Amino acid sequence: MDIIFIRGLKCETTLGVYDWERVTLRPVVVDLDIGAASGDAFQNDSTKGLMNYDSISRRLSETLPTLTYHTVERLAEHVAQTVLGEFHAPWVKVTIGKPGAVRNAALVGVTIERGARPRKGYSPD
């Protein structure tokens, strides 16, 4: 499976366990590794089956501010299901980071994978 990625997508959403966290939009950082639905673009320099980075980024940037979740885990699940369902990706790895959530840590968050796993030997870094 071929992988495309989006790194450091800055979005805002209403997220937090405590009431004071859900008063205003808070920043989150989204990283995605997305299984490519087709190898045509890699083999033939074709747009057939191509994942549109901009469409995915815009969809998340528009949707996340309208959501309210208590946990970053649930937000990650929402993002994964959006990419799988709306963009027909066979697999996605979602990392959601909350900057400034923990003192002395630049970023804390979760990483989840959904869908059919990529081939053995894949390394996102």
Q: What is the CATH number of the domain that holds 21?
A: 3.30.1130.10
Give domain status of residue 33, yes or no. yes
pTM reported for the whole predicted model: 0.85
Total structural domains within the chain:
1
CB 88 within 8 A of CB 76: no
Instruction: Please compute the mean of the pLDDT values over residues 14-34 and round it to a whole number.
Output: 93
pLDDT at 125 over 60: no
Give domain status of residue 63, yes or no. yes
Q: Which domain holds residue 109?
A: 3-115
Higher pLDDT, 113 or 41: 113
- Position 37 confidence tier, pLDDT thresholds 50, 70, 90: low
Give domain status of residue 121, yes or no. no
Residue-level pLDDT at 15: 92
Mean confidence (pLDDT) of the chain: 88
Residue-level pLDDT at 59: 97
Give domain status of residue 122, yes or no. no
Residue-level pLDDT at 118: 62
The pairing of beta strand 91-99 with beta strand 26-35: antiparallel
Rg (CA), the chain: 15
DSSP for 41-79, please give it: HHHHS--TT---HHHHHHHHHHHGGG-EES-HHHHHHHH
pLDDT at 42 over 90: no
